[in-house]
Amino acid sequence: MDVGREEIARRHFAPMIIVLALLFIAGCGTSGSRDDSTNNLNTKSEVDQPITRYTGEKSREISMVYTAKRELSLSFNGMGDAETMKKLLDELDTYHIKATFFLPGMRVAEEPDIAKDILDRGHEIESNTLNGLDMSKLSYEQIYKEIKLSNQVIAKETGVTPKYVRTKSGDFTDDVRLAAAHNGMEAVVSYNINPKDRDMKDAKTIGDYVKRYISRGGIISLNTDINPEVISSIKYIAEAADEIGYKLIRLEQLVENGGVRKPLEQIPGYDAAKINLDYQDEKYELIYKVNTNKKQVALTFDDWGSDKTITKILDILAEHDTVATFFLRAKGVETNPNLARAIVEGGHDVANHSYNHPVVTSITPKELQEDLVKAHQVITDAIQQQPVMLFRPPTGVVDDERAKAIAATGYPNIAMYEVTALDWDSSNSANDIVHDIMTKSERGSIILLHMLDDIHTIEALPRILDGMKSKGFTFVKMADLIEEQ
Q: For the chain, which residues make up each domain, given as ranges?
A: 8-257, 265-483
* Size of the chain, expressed as the number of residues it contains: 485
**125 DSSP β-pair partners:** 101
Which backbone phi and psi does 313 adopt, to 5 degrees? -60, -45
* pLDDT value of position 45: 46
What digits encode the pLDDT tens for the residues 107-149? 999 999 999 999 999 999 999 999 999 999 999 999 999 999 9
Residue 304 one-letter amino acid:
W
User: Architecture of 8-257 per CATH?
Assistant: Alpha-Beta Barrel (3.20)
| Cβ atoms < 10 Å from Cβ of 381 | 20
* Residues 6 or more apart in contact with residue 120 via CB below 8 angstroms: none
| Cβ contact 478:352 at 8 Å | no
Which backbone phi and psi does 48 adopt, to 5 degrees? -70, -15
| Cβ contact 385:267 at 8 Å | yes
pLDDT lower than 70: segments of the chain: 1-48
* pLDDT value of position 484: 78
**220 DSSP β-pair partners:** 74, 193
Q: Do 8-257 and 265-483 fold alike per CATH?
A: yes
Exposed e or buried b for every residue in 171-194, given b needs 16+ CB within 10 A? ebeebbbbbbbbbebbbbbbbbbb
What gap in Å lies between CA 335 and CA 319, rounded to an integer?
A: 28
* pLDDT value of position 43: 43
pTM equals 0.88
* pLDDT value of position 21: 52
Question: How big is the chain by its Cα radius of gyration, in Å?
Answer: 27
Residue 452 one-letter amino acid:
L
* pLDDT value of position 303: 97
User: Architecture of 265-483 per CATH?
Assistant: Alpha-Beta Barrel (3.20)
